[in-house]
Structure 1
Amino acid sequence: MRPCGVEARLVVMEHHPSAPLLDERRRALLDELARVDGELRTVREAKTDGTDDDEHDPEGATMSTQWSHATGLRSAVVLQLEEVDGALARIAAGTYGTCTRCGRPISAGRLEARPSAPLCIDCARGTTG
């Protein structure tokens, strides 16, 4: 008996060559997100503990600099996580490897270099679509 519906999508995801890479990348990004969130909590606590001295460590970065760096890093991690989740959704839908803009196939080399790529190289460069 062949799987259908949701079961068929799960079978496709389990056997798609890019799925393990994307799953591994997703786990790494979630770990990084947890680390950055911990860093943000630490800076937030340091700023609210009554010490308003932004130059808490003359040899190190200021709390404002640490906060700015961590929030920027968090935004980048969230964006990458969204890209990976999008790729996993395309695998489940059976559209992985097809450019989301022009509908042409994404080259194997591009997918090997960037498994979460939603666009073919031409669309990513802005030369088509």
Structure 2
Amino acid sequence: MAALGRDFDGIVAANALVAVDDEHDPEGGTTAFERAHVAFLMEQARGHLAELDGALQRLERGTYGECEGCGSRIPPERLEIRPAATTCVSCAEPGRHRPRRPAH
């Protein structure tokens, strides 16, 4: 996040030094794309951080690794690849949602 923020600030600062008219400047489209791309990456990183925060909360509650779809345990291999996973592979498949089993 910090590196992306520095990249974004650098793009904005570089454009502030030059009178950029994105519509008529041949480089304008490129700088607009760079800003949009870095902003997208920052938003994506914020989303990943929010997912990890949720995983930490589930860990504190003792529900980490429990599928929110069916209540079964999420395989450790899936959690190793996606530590913030909230569903097992079966429930994560598009169009497949099993009803959550009742809590014991």
- The TM tier, using the shorter chain, reads 0.7 to 0.9
Question: Gapped runs of 5+ residues in structure 1?
Answer: 1-32
Cα distance, 1:102 vs structure 2: 2.5
Give the TM-score taking structure 2 as reference length: 0.77
Percent identity of equivalent pairs:
33
Cα distance, 1:121 vs structure 2: 0.8
Higher relative contact order (CA 8 A, sep 6+): 1
SS in 2 for 1:62: helix
Q: Aligned match of 1:47 in 15, 18, 42?
A: 15
Question: Gapped runs of 5+ residues in structure 2?
Answer: 99-104
Residue matched to 2:44: 76
The ranges of structure 1 where at least 4 consecutive aligned residues each deviate by more than 4 angstroms after the TM superposition are 53-57
RMSD: 2.2
Q: Residues 1-129 of structure 1: matches in 2 within 5 Å? A: 33-54=1-22, 62-126=30-94, 127-129=96-98
In structure 2, C-alpha distance between the alignment counterparts of 1:101 and 1:49, rounded to whole Å: 52
Q: Is the 8 A contact 1:56 1:63 kept in 2?
A: no
Q: Read off the aligned partner of 1:67 and give its amino acid letter.
A: R
Q: Read off the aligned partner of 2:50 and give its amino acid letter.
A: E
Give the TM-score taking structure 1 as reference length: 0.64
Query: Would you tell me which structure has more helix in proportion to its own residues?
Result: 1
In structure 1, C-alpha distance between the alignment counterparts of 2:9 and 2:26, rounded to whole Å: 16
